[in-house]
Structure 1
Amino acid sequence: MRFLAVATMVVALMVPWSVRADGVESLKAFFKSTSAMRAHFRQVVTDAQGNKVQEVEGHMQLQRPGKFRWDYNKPYVQQIVGDGEKVWLYDPDLNQLTVRPMSKAIGSSPASLLAGAQDAERNFTLTTVIRSDGLAWAQAVPKAEDSGFDKVLLGFKGDELQKMELHDSFGHVTSIQFSQLQRNPAIANSSFQFVVPAGADVVGE
């Protein structure tokens, strides 16, 4: 489940949305100027009562449209790789690999924003959210009733993405803080190609 929660988060970074004002204008500026991104991230998950239930760190890379890689290194090692056609979810501790077609892995979740193949405003209601933290926040609320989450928020300082939140239907909030961000770095295609480890238990298509 933790893989799927993050996979749905990752993809919201990669679509050129049509947006309107304030936070959504920052979102528009970000996607207009950013075709690739590399950053360190810190991810914290809280439950419905606000208790911290998970904290992890790692590095992420993305290249629009449709390619991303999230490498978790603290406190455990895990990988999520999207090559534009499939999503690879690998747990080295279990030597288990889950493979899904991107269309099925992302469904009607924020992951539907990944490849930019769909019009975001056809599937999401986009608004600006005002907070007191000094960031410009854009919010996307799914129009589908069975998406499994309530909303996704992206926080910007200027047109630089600094935070991201996923609020699911169970009251859990997954918050991601980005740092050491590099915009439009040269990223080798091999970064988004997953090589199946020897002896791995492969689940899926």
Structure 2
Amino acid sequence: MLMSSLGRVLCSVLYIALLVIPGLVYAADAKDNLHKITLSIKNLQGDFTQFEYDERGRPLRVLQGKFKMTNKLQLWWQVAPPYAQTVISNGTHTMIYDDDLQQLIVRALDTENLPPFFFMASNPQLLDQMTIDQPDPEDPTFFLSDSNTDIFVRFNRRLPVEISWENELNQKIMINFSRVTKNRRLAKKIFDFKPPPGTSIITD
């Protein structure tokens, strides 16, 4: 089901082999460069295209949708039909609503396993806990790694354009961002999800 797949995208332990590239800048410099980017972000919104590949690199499916997020750990992540689903974080809990099942799963927010939040300036502790490498100090492409998470992140003009990793099934997940803007006014109510009448609610 999409819910389990998107849950892995946003909440599960992520795996991707860290690329070893000669000439990496010092980790401290890479971390400082990434901090400068994230500190400039108060919120983001735009479109995304998510590509999923199996362990042999064969395409599994493509998901598209829109997102909004803030540096207060608020997230609105909506997948378009035919895989319609909405993931919302209000800063303390994550809610996953499946349109087809009319089902809402509510769970405590786990910031360490939410890759999009690596862009958020409100969570410098996430970056501080990771090893960060940057092959070229002039190119805002970063490799982030800790004991159980390795992620590739690329920016352009201080806006995220790509993030990728492998999940626990050795499937590669790559998300491309487009039409991204930052620090524009967002309505707070978008992060206050109210499920439709008749929705089955599950607390995880």
Q: TM-score, normalised by structure 1?
A: 0.78
Instruction: Note the residue ranges of structure 2 that are not aligned, 5 or more in a row.
Output: 13-26
8 Å CA contact retained: 1:66, 1:115: no
Counterpart-to-counterpart distance in 2, 1:155 and 1:75: 28
* Aligned residue identity for 2:133: T
**Pairs aligned (count):** 184
1:94 aligned onto 2:97: no
Q: 2:29 is paired with a residue of what secondary structure?
A: coil
Counterpart-to-counterpart distance in 1, 2:157 and 2:28: 15
Per-residue displacement from partner, 1:160-186 (whole Å, max 9, x unpaired)? 211111222432111111111111110
Which segment is superposed worse, 164-173 or 187-196? 164-173
Counterpart-to-counterpart distance in 2, 1:110 and 1:141: 14
Cα RMSD after superposing both structures: 2.6
Q: 2:198 is paired with a residue of what secondary structure?
A: coil
Instruction: Note the residue ranges of structure 1 that are not aligned, 5 or more in a row.
Output: 10-18
1:128 aligned onto 2:131: no
Among all aligned residue pairs of Structure 1 and Structure 2, give the percentage whose two residues are the same amino acid: 18
The correspondence for 1:78, drawn from 61, 69, 85, is 85
Per-residue displacement from partner, 1:65-103 (whole Å, max 9, x unpaired)? 210110111432110000001100010101011000114
What is the deviation of 1:2?
1.1
Per-residue displacement from partner, 1:33-86 (whole Å, max 9, x unpaired)? 110111111110111100111201000000112101101114321100000011
Q: Which has the higher contact order (CA 8 A, sep 6+)?
A: 2
Counterpart-to-counterpart distance in 1, 2:73 and 2:187: 14
- Partner in structure 1 of residue 189 of structure 2: 190
Q: Which has the higher strand share?
A: 1
Counterpart-to-counterpart distance in 1, 2:152 and 2:122: 18
8 Å CA contact retained: 1:27, 1:159: no
The correspondence for 1:142, drawn from 138, 142, 146, is 146
1:2 aligned onto 2:9: no
Counterpart-to-counterpart distance in 1, 2:69 and 2:170: 28
